[in-house]
Chains A and B, each alone.
Chain A
Amino acid sequence: MRIIHVVVSPLIALTVGVLFLGLSRKIIARVHRRYGPPIYQPVIDVVRMMSQRSISHGALFELGVVLSLAGSFVTVLFIPLGGTEVSRELHPLAHGVLCPLCGSGGLLVVIYLMLFSPLGLALGAGASANPNASIGVSRKMLLALAYEVPFLLVILAVMSHYGTISFTEVVARQQQGNWGVLSVPLSAAAAFLILPAMLGIRPFDMATAPQEIASGPLAEYGGPYLALIAVQKAVHLFVVISLFVDLFLGGGVNIITFLLKMLAVFLAAEMINAVLPRFKIEDAVKFCWKWPTALAFLQMIITVVSK
């Protein structure tokens, strides 16, 4: 049974992620009052890139991308995608926990596994010996440090609120009691504030800014490697949003409700992405260390005091 889950959940992540990418380009187009590409345009882009013969700057240049995509896929295995033991008798449609590897290391492993994708891309970009790539990687690392401070506060507040480090139990407790948004509201607000930063979309996409630094770490990537990076971006989008849904919206009773909640969160994040201009890296770090951190810190104090 678990073997099927191990195969199914990355495929779900891939399809839903690519669908979300297509949706985001359509939403941005609609906001600009133009038609925009069809929903399946990212698929066309990936097929075209796979057919192109690009250049390579050596083994690490290629393996960095493979490492970052592999890391994202493995992170998906550790996130419960809807369905918990509690919900089995509650709903006729419920199915067992769709989270193949939740047993071997809970939320802590997810945080550390999310290190793989930026590190993999950073290694690949470093090997491409292009100054734009190095500047892009330095910005990506700084941005990661910026949003990681509130993100860790948020996750620790949730973990100490439910007193466990296993992800499925956090989701199960939310489904019995009220959702994370109600029990740890400030953390949910802080998490939503840094959601664009974690996704790397418009207000915080200075790491891959096409106009300023020729799309940063991706400056030297083309052909199949760029296709893998696009897929990695899609899967990372799925991972971050499913993390948000699991921590604060009580996961899904089954996969369908889970995906619907993800769509809602995604649309909210896209609205910010469609309209805001790009921050400078100093302002992004200052922003991330001011409001979201204050909210998350306050929530942490509340949970510790009320424990």
Chain B
Amino acid sequence: MTSPLQEDLESRFKDVEVRALEQNRVSVLVPSGSIPLILRYLKDNGRDHLALISCVDWIEQGEFEVVYVLTSYMPNDTEHGPGQRLHVLLKTRIPREDPQLKSAIAVFDNAEPYERELHELYGVNFEGHPRLIPLFLEREYEIPPFRKDFDMRKYVEETFGSIPSVDG
């Protein structure tokens, strides 16, 4: 059965693939170009809370999958219908070599730290982001650490192993 949201999205945007996961979870796969448009649309229709932006490294297909988790703040003055609890997982695929995306700060200004985290740990570049400086890590890494091709043990051996112990 197709939920009202599914027809709505398919009618409005082309090549949108909507799949209903388990109860109250809907995943929407869209091309990377139309992200801001859909975010704006979803925000106006009840999905006003951007809970998280995360990223999955599909190294075999050479792609990153960036996932926007949207839900609603459910203000307590309105009654909570079943539709209110719906979580929309907006997914998009971008190439691994030069991951580019438009920043979502224009729509959800709380996306700023999430985008900095993705930039720092995966190397995804968000244009339009005011300051893409490191969020958690102390310094820049050539291969961002969360990528699958980042060899953890070799890196540890190189940086920490090379520090001579202080004798005496």
A and B touch in the complex (CB under 8 A): no
Which A positions have Cβ atoms within 8 angstroms of B? none
Binding site for A on B (CB under 8 A): none
